Chains A and B, each alone.
Chain A
Amino acid sequence: MSKVITLQAFFEEARAGRLTGIRCGRCGELAIPPKEFCPACQERAWEPLPLDGRGTIASFTVIRVPPRGRAAEAPYAVAVVRLDEGVSLLGRIVDIPLDALKVGLPVRFRPLVRDNQTVVGFGPTV
């Protein structure tokens, strides 16, 4: 019987610097919580899997026209990062010059806290 990792739990862990994935106890599929059934085999047997937080940029963009309330932050980069374990995560890029971004660039997870909300961020590997 799997224990569901809630969004709240995922982001509380993330705030402490720990990324939590889940692995299907039947077929081994990896995912980011929350999730009930495995999309691959339809089993309901997730096990928590700590993620190292290292990965490479699969795609990225530089947001120059931001939503309301973010004008002071623009321009900023958002990327989809393929983590080493095989799952991907979208996050804000920090401390990497915008013109140095490219597909395949290694990055590392770091939590960003904004208005008491934890946001997934990725920065340089060292």
Chain B
Amino acid sequence: MRRVAVIGVGVTKFGKHERTCAELFAEAAADAILDAGVSPRAIQAIYFGNVVGGEGERQLHMGPQAASVLGIPSVPTTRFETACATSHAALRHAMMEVAGGLSDVVLVGGAERVLNLPTDAATEYFAFASDAAFEQPAGITFPGVFALIARAHMAKHGTTEEQMAHVAVKNHRHGALNPKAQFQKEITIEQVLNSAKIADPLKLYDCCPFTDGAAAVVVASEEVARKSRRPVWILASAAASDSMFLHVKKDLSRVLATERAAEAAYRQAGRGPADVDVVELHDCFTIAEIVATEGLGFFEPGTGGVAAEKGWTSLGGKLPVNPSGGLKAKGHPIGATGAAQAAEIVTQLRHEAGSRQVDGAKVGLVHTLGGNTATVLVSLLGSE
């Protein structure tokens, strides 16, 4: 397999947009292509992610539509959907196409738009990613899924609502340093604890927002990457699954797909958790960050809450997690999230992250989770 690098990144402002997914993706993609320093003509394939476009925009077949708006309509496109892990799955497959020698330059990313919908409709569409026979009819929502995980983690490990609140406060503090973030405002522990209940024990500020936005990255072969401004190498990219059904998971306090994908990625890269300098991980809910920091091997099982409380995962801490503000503050346009996380790690490893820069970062980890914790992707990126 050939070495593969990310040579360009582009991310729209996250928040509310009055533009279609195709328009949003095209903006991020054009930025990524210019950042890569290649001609649009150099793109040989587009791996495009979107989740609820069929429901939200009555638009399927968005890949060629986005390519047409971008202005390279003859490039082959493929749409990916693995719920919230969508564009990270696209990134892994783009990497495989380049690593396998089929293409030298591939554009990958995703877009999502849901703020044009009422909250109850968006909540319903997101719940389509849970099982339609057993789970949706019971009235489960995605906050509900992670509330079940939170309750199990609290019962097993004594994790507290205040520890979860620390995750939200930290990610809002980071988001305030990110001009692309949906929320650029700091919050307090009290605000989190006193915010409206969504799905007990999760409250409004435990939850990421609904977000419109897009992100794109350009991946390239080593030969192309060597001529680019600042390549960041994909050291590993691994995917793992776990049962789609919540009722099959024997221990709701763990995300087995995270543990499996992390193990595979560390093995591929020949590195371990101690080699990682900066992390972008899937904090769709505060408890999700706590469980992920354990599953990725950074902290012992049951101690992710303590790590958040002690500030170990803050900028300036021993392992900065989600310097972008994470899904919590940067926002979570679900089909774009994986690519946006990768773009942040690339920016960090190029030492171009400004006031949210992790000093001396050389190796970064990207973790993206889809659906009922059934899909997880973990990639390791390195500046060398």
Contacts and interface: CB of A to CB of B under 8 A. Distances in A.
Interface of A: 7, 11, 31-32, 39, 58-71, 73, 76, 78-80, 87-92, 103, 114, 117, 119-120
A120 B141 CA distance: 16
Contact of B141 (A11, A58, A63, A79): A63
Interface of B: 118-121, 123-124, 127, 133-141, 143-144, 147-149, 151-152, 155, 196-202, 243, 245-250, 252
**Max chain B C-beta neighbours (<10 A), residue from A32, A64, A88:** A64
Contact of B246 (A68, A71, A80): A80
Contact of A62 (B199, B246, B252): B199
Given A58-B252, A65-B143, A88 B247 contact: yes
A74 to B, nearest CB: 8
Nearest to B130: A90
Contact of A63 (B140, B151, B152, B249): B140
Given A63-B140, A89-B247, A80 B199 contact: no
B141 A119 contact: no
Contacts of B134: 32, 89-90, 120
A61 B138 CA distance: 12
B197 to A, nearest CB: 5
B247 A66 contact: no
B123 A88 contact: no
Contact of B138 (A7, A31, A90, A103): A90
A92 B197 contact: no
Contacts of B250: 88
Contacts of B118: 68
Contacts of A103: 151-152, 155
B151 A59 contact: yes
A7 to B, nearest CB: 5
B248 A67 contact: no
A68 B148 contact: no
A78 B245 CA distance: 14
B141 A90 contact: no
Contact of B144 (A11, A68, A78): A78
Contact of B123 (A11, A66, A87): A66
Contacts of A58: 152, 252
Nearest to B246: A90
B141 A32 contact: no
A64 B118 CA distance: 16
Q: Which 5 A-B pairs have the closest CB atoms?
A: A61-B147, A67-B124, A68-B120, A62-B200, A68-B124
Contacts of A62: 197, 199-200
B140 A78 contact: yes
